[in-house]
Chains A and B, each alone.
Chain A
Amino acid sequence: MGHVPNPRPAGDFRTSYIGDNALFKTRFEGKAALGIVLALVIAAPFLSNYVLSQLIVISIYSIAALGLNILVGVTGQISLGHGAFFGFGAFASAWIVNSFGIPALIAIPLAGLLTTAVGMIFGVPAARIKGLYLAIATLASQFILEDFFARAEWFSGGVYGALAERPTFFGFIFDTDLSYFYLVLFWVVASIVAVTNLLRSRDGRALVAVRDHYLSAEIMGVNLTKYRILSFGISSFFAGLAGALFAHYLEFVSVEGFTILLSIQFLAMIIIGGLGSVYGTILGAIFVLLLPQVMEGAATSAAGLFPALETGKAYIKEMSVGAAIILFLIFEPEGLIHRWRVIRASWKLFPFAR
């Protein structure tokens, strides 16, 4: 995993360790983050249902992609089975609610914990193998879990799928998109804070050390096996949490929804957004989820000129994701967040930078 450069503008000095470890690097960053969250909270009641549903889906996928970014971007492992863990969280939450009568609000984080356990089991091969071999092992876990969903009727309802009711809170039901958006927003903010916090702790630095040079890390006293499996656990927790939120949003979980394509979509989000970057992940999720819709709109409006496009809309949507992965890897391998940093730096250094 290469070093991700972060061009820091002139004048932005860190004079203490506390300053270097701060949650928000500059006061403006903190205010901007708070401002965006407040703006979303205030603006939400005025948004149309379509926009709200898009925001909910983007937020849920951001949580899952954030987990994957800890595994891939921060720890340098590879997982092609993240979609299956997302699915496991969805089924687990529905199972907990339906079989034990535990309220959905509690079941959602519980499902995350259950997925953590499963993710750590599937992460065990990571203790011995890495790189390509690990990629293939996680590919196998994707297929094994998918098979499990279709077969374990006690857990997932088999081919019929499972029902997942909307959560309630002392009689208040999160049954509108608006109220559900607030619930999801809470979890997104909590996840972002948790991950940013993790990255500035000893454990976070250990994960980065495992990525950058695992032999040196081991010599410095980082337990490789522990941190590799831990990073699988953390990433599965966010996948499970997001999956559970997704299940209770759709109110139904079906076996077909969690294929390898979903795993690839998550990988596309973090690669397009920027490996190892928290805010990049969110940009990536927005990009990957909106791109197919933009392409569909473009195809519809161009269909007047080229009637062939009308029939190919569904395919253009899929192709655009594949093409975006390829183009980003060739032309902008560090992702959207790098582009943003460059723009920010050139703005600050105005006459001296391009």
Chain B
Amino acid sequence: MNSELLLQLLLNGIIVGMLYGVVAMCFVLIYKSTQVVNFAQGEFLVLGGWVCLSLVIQMGLPFFLAFLFTLVFMAIFGIVVQQIILRPLIGEPIISVIMVTIGLSIFMQSLMNWVFGNDAKRFPDIFGSLSVISIGGLNVETAYVMSLVLSLVIMAVFYFFFRFTRHGLAMRATAFNQQIAQSLGISVKQTFAMAWAISALVSGVAGVVMGIVSAVSNSLAFVGIKVFPAVIVGGLDSIVGAVVGGLIIGVLENLAEFIDGEYLHIGNLYTIAPFYVLIIILMIKPYGLFGTKDIERI
């Protein structure tokens, strides 16, 4: 038993899991407030990464300016997607809504392949992100620490936004009951647009972070798929559940890699283990750890 490797993998799992948690939060935000399942969440993330990267490399902007532009761009992009694609489908059956976001994800994927190319590209080394610091005897790259801190900051901002601001309250009210919210003077349309804007923006941030940690490439969209096990474990409509689910999946896949590497030698357990867990959770506890049970009456 190689305990140092185990600890290292667990730490990796927590750090990656936090990022999964952030993206899962964006996913849940859209689902909770607009009842739309966004299969294109992974592409949102990649788009954020690419936009920031091309602003830095091709336009030569300083990183923080590029980052700000990316935020603005992603927010506008989220609103545009909501207005043009999702609004006509309000009230349509769930298969249509699922399919339209799948269509969007295919469209975005091939468009980004065309515009930004197939190769992975790295950010210029801005933070000395490749230097290694040591935490409790384990070696961690600075970029990983930064991503951990940033994930925590995003989660804290989410918490304060929903707990203490008027808009956050309006969004919670809309998620709870659209008609009551509307009769209290909350613009449901605005709230929908805002949910998409926030979700796209935060996914964009996650994309930039993942780009700095590893590299920006179209394969980063796999995070959008990994989000599904995370949100199912946590419960589809729970923001806390999304974070917990993300952490569980992140740790779990690294644990699976450890067990695989040390004992089983099957190979590729890392990518597939979350999906087995997903099926098991769906069989025994379909509404996840924190999700609300959906009770139907005749």
> A residues near B, CB below 8 A?
1-2, 72, 78, 124-125, 128-129, 131-133, 135-137, 139-141, 143-144, 147, 150-151, 215, 261, 264, 267-268, 271, 275, 311-312, 315-316, 318-319, 321-326, 329-330, 333
B73-110 interface code vs A (CB 8 A; 1 in, 0 out)? 00000000000010011001111101110111111111
Q: Is the CB of A136 within 8 A of B232?
A: yes
Instruction: Note all chain A residues with C-beta closer than 8 A to B266.
Output: 151
B255 an interface residue at 8 Å Cβ cutoff? no
Q: Is the CB of B236 within 8 A of A132?
A: yes
Given the complex of chains A and B, what is the CA–CA distance between A143 and B225 in angstroms? 10
Q: Is the CB of A131 within 8 A of B94?
A: yes
Distance in Å: Cβ of A247 to nearest Cβ of chain B: 24
Instruction: Note all chain B residues with C-beta closer than 8 A to A141.
Output: 279
Stretch at the interface among B3-11, B128-136, B239-247, B268-276: B268-276
Q: Is the CB of A125 within 8 A of B283?
A: yes
Instruction: Note all chain A residues with C-beta closer than 8 A to B37.
Output: 132, 135
Given pairs A139-B228, A140-B279, A322-B109, 20 additional interface contacts (CB within 8 A)? A72-B95, A124-B283, A128-B282, A135-B98, A136-B228, A139-B225, A140-B282, A143-B272, A144-B272, A267-B102, A271-B95, A319-B106, A319-B110, A319-B114, A322-B104, A322-B110, A325-B106, A329-B89, A329-B92, A329-B100
Instruction: Note all chain A residues with C-beta closer than 8 A to B99.
Output: 267-268, 271, 325, 329
Distance in Å: Cβ of A156 to nearest Cβ of chain B: 14
Given the complex of chains A and B, what is the CA–CA distance between A264 and B98 in angstroms? 11
**Inter-chain residue pair count (beta carbon < 8 A):** 126
Given the complex of chains A and B, what is the CA–CA distance between A31 and B275 in angstroms? 49
Q: Is the CB of B93 within 8 A of A1?
A: yes
Given the complex of chains A and B, what is the CA–CA distance between A330 and B86 in angstroms? 9
Q: Is the CB of A125 within 8 A of B110?
A: no
Q: Is the CB of A133 within 8 A of B282?
A: yes
Q: Is the CB of B85 within 8 A of A330?
A: yes
Q: Is the CB of A326 within 8 A of B104?
A: yes
B227-268 interface code vs A (CB 8 A; 1 in, 0 out)? 011001000100000000000000000000000000000111
Across the interface, name the chain A residue whose C-beta is closest to B84.
Answer: A330
Q: A78-B98, A322-B104 are in contact. Are A129 and B282 (CB under 8 A)?
A: yes
The 8 Å CB contact of A264, one of B88, B106, B276, is B106
Instruction: Note all chain B residues with C-beta closer than 8 A to A318.
Output: 106, 109-110, 113
Instruction: Note all chain A residues with C-beta closer than 8 A to B125.
Output: none
Q: A78-B98, A151-B268, A312-B114 are in contact. Are A326 and B107 (CB under 8 A)?
A: yes
Given the complex of chains A and B, what is the CA–CA distance between A143 and B269 in angstroms? 12
Given the complex of chains A and B, what is the CA–CA distance between A244 and B203 in angstroms? 41
Across the interface, name the chain A residue whose C-beta is closest to B96.
Answer: A329
Distance in Å: Cβ of A249 to nearest Cβ of chain B: 25
Given the complex of chains A and B, what is the CA–CA distance between A115 and B229 in angstroms? 25
Q: Is the CB of B106 within 8 A of A215?
A: no
Instruction: Note all chain B residues with C-beta closer than 8 A to A137.
Output: 278-279, 282
Q: Is the CB of A319 within 8 A of B111?
A: yes
B126 an interface residue at 8 Å Cβ cutoff? no
Q: Is the CB of A322 within 8 A of B107?
A: yes
Q: Is the CB of B286 within 8 A of A129?
A: yes
Given the complex of chains A and B, what is the CA–CA distance between A323 and B110 in angstroms? 11
Top 7 closest pairs, chain A to chain B, by CB: A325-B103, A322-B107, A322-B106, A318-B110, A315-B114, A140-B275, A326-B103
Q: Which of B155-194 contact A (CB under 8 A)?
A: none
Query: What number of B residues sit within 8 Å (CB to CB) of A?
Result: 43
List 26 A–B pairs whose Cβ atoms lie within 8 Å, in order of A's numbering: A2-B92, A129-B286, A131-B94, A132-B94, A132-B98, A133-B236, A135-B98, A136-B282, A143-B271, A144-B276, A150-B268, A271-B99, A318-B110, A319-B107, A319-B110, A321-B103, A322-B106, A322-B110, A323-B107, A324-B103, A325-B100, A325-B102, A326-B100, A326-B104, A329-B96, A333-B92
Instruction: Note all chain A residues with C-beta closer than 8 A to B105.
Output: 322
Distance in Å: Cβ of A303 to nearest Cβ of chain B: 14
Q: Is the CB of A330 within 8 A of B298?
A: no
Instruction: Note all chain B residues with C-beta closer than 8 A to A133.
Output: 232, 236, 282, 286
Residue from A2, A129, A143, A150 having most chain B Cβ neighbours under 10 A = A143
Across the interface, name the chain A residue whose C-beta is closest to B269.
Answer: A147
Instruction: Note all chain A residues with C-beta closer than 8 A to B298.
Output: 215
Distance in Å: Cβ of A98 to nearest Cβ of chain B: 24
Across the interface, name the chain B residue whose C-beta is closest to A133.
Answer: B286
Distance in Å: Cβ of B91 to nearest Cβ of chain A: 10
Q: A78-B94, A151-B268 are in contact. Are A125 and B279 (CB under 8 A)?
A: yes
Q: A125-B283, A151-B268, A326-B100 are in contact. Are A136 and B107 (CB under 8 A)?
A: no
Given the complex of chains A and B, what is the CA–CA distance between A78 and B93 in angstroms? 11
Instruction: Note all chain B residues with C-beta closer than 8 A to A131.
Output: 94
Q: Is the CB of B103 within 8 A of A329?
A: yes
Distance in Å: Cβ of A255 to nearest Cβ of chain B: 12
Instruction: Note all chain B residues with C-beta closer than 8 A to A147.
Output: 268, 271-272
Distance in Å: Cβ of B297 to nearest Cβ of chain A: 9
Instruction: Note all chain A residues with C-beta closer than 8 A to B236.
Output: 132-133
Q: Which of B282-298 contact A (CB under 8 A)?
A: 282-283, 286, 296, 298
Across the interface, name the chain A residue whose C-beta is closest to B102.
Answer: A264
Given the complex of chains A and B, what is the CA–CA distance between A139 and B105 in angstroms? 15
Instruction: Note all chain B residues with C-beta closer than 8 A to A323.
Output: 103, 107
Q: A129-B282, A135-B37 are in contact. Are A143 and B275 (CB under 8 A)?
A: yes
Q: Is the CB of A125 within 8 A of B102?
A: no
Distance in Å: Cβ of B152 to nearest Cβ of chain A: 27
Distance in Å: Cβ of A318 to nearest Cβ of chain B: 4
Instruction: Note all chain B residues with C-beta closer than 8 A to A311.
Output: 114
Q: Is the CB of A261 within 8 A of B106?
A: yes
Across the interface, name the chain B residue whose C-beta is closest to A72.
Answer: B95
Across the interface, name the chain A residue whose C-beta is closest to B277.
Answer: A140
Instruction: Note all chain B residues with C-beta closer than 8 A to A125.
Output: 279, 282-283
Given the complex of chains A and B, what is the CA–CA distance between A132 and B106 in angstroms? 19
Given the complex of chains A and B, what is the CA–CA distance between A314 and B94 in angstroms? 31
Instruction: Note all chain B residues with C-beta closer than 8 A to A72.
Output: 95
